[in-house]
């Protein structure tokens, strides 16, 4: 039976460290500030935004929310971003995705000042991740790396397989494992012999967005299995991995919920703290 990787525990540790460092910054007159923009009334987005605001309060950040109607125009949204880019008291800007279909996410991401892009989605920050010289990391892949580090799991010399090639999780996840000297394969919808490739993995990361996609016959005995999926099945939250069967073969596994999910907002807090330090010339 696999050891369960406890994302709630590790996330609480990350937030506690951020809160301690924030208290030190405040003594120097610096309060990290995060602005969150939400367009429209998507219920899941509203839950995420509320959780981010609560996390800011918990660690001692200043936060602002810009809730804009679903019929907001591109010009109106960009005007808010431009204003926040100029604000010295705002260190991080986050535009909650997805946006209504008439708004261009790429243009919005490009418009956010790269030094305030605490989601690390902008081309500048993505390029920095590619070369391994970065200030911010995308929150979910960074959370996965934090979990691995906490449990003493190194990617060095390991075969690492990532299922999914999204810009938000799959691609940066592969790069972070590569930076740790893992040998990385990224699989996707056109991959042939997927099950065979997955069985070669010492570390398997599932980020495909399909409930129970990874079955026990796709997993090598003793593999580390990281489930990034967040799906609804018969009204219940579940991941991309068939937890009950795969946990019998894996050495470590993340549950859903309670695994990778809690880490994402913790890493957002960490990125915002880093942004505040950079803006004020404060060394770690």
Residues with a known catalytic role: 52, 96, 119
Q: Please, what is the angle between helix 261-279 and helix 43-59, to 10°?
A: 50
State yes or no: cis peptide before 2, omega within 30 of 0.
no
Residue 266 CB burial class (10 angstroms; 0-12, 13-18, ≥19): buried
| 54-69 burial code (b ≥16 CB/10 A, e <16) | ebbeebbbebbebebe
Q: Is the alpha carbon torsion for 51, 54, 60, 61 positive or negative?
A: positive
Q: Is the alpha carbon torsion for 14, 49, 6, 223 positive or negative?
A: negative
């Amino acid at each position: 039976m696999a050891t369960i990787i406890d994302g709630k525990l590790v996330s609480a540790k990350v937030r506690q460290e951020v809160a301690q460092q924030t208290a030190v910054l405040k003594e120097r007159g610096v309060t990290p500030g995060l602005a969150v923009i939400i367009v429209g009334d998507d219920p899941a987005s509203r839950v995420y935004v509320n959780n981010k605001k609560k996390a800011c309060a918990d660690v001692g950040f200043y936060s602002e929310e810009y809730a804009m109607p679903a019929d907001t125009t591109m010009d109106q949204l960009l005007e808010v971003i431009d204003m926040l880019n100029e604000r010295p008291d705002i260190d991080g800007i986050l535009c909650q995705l997805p946006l209504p279909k008439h708004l261009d996410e790429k243009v919005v991401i490009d418009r956010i000042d790269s030094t305030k892009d605490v989601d690390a989605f902008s081309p500048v920050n993505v390029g920095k991740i590619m070369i391994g010289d970065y200030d911010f990391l995308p929150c979910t892949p960074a959370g996965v790396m934090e979990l691995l580090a906490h449990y003493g799991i190194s990617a060095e010399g390991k075969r690492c397989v990532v299922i999914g090639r999204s810009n938000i999780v799959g691609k940066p996840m592969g790069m972070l494992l590569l930076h740790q000297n893992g040998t990385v394969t990224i699989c996707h919808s056109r991959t042939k012999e997927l099950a065979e490739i997955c069985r070669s993995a010492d570390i398997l990361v599932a980020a495909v967005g399909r409930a129970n996609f990874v079955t026990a016959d796709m997993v090598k005995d003793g593999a580390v299995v990281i489930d990034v999926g967040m799906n609804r099945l018969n009204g219940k939250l579940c991941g991309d991995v068939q937890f009950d069967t795969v946990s019998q073969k894996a050495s470590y596994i993340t549950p859903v919920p309670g695994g990778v999910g809690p880490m994402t907002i913790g890493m957002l807090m960490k990125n915002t703290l880093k942004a505040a330090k950079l803006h004020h010339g404060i060394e770690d």
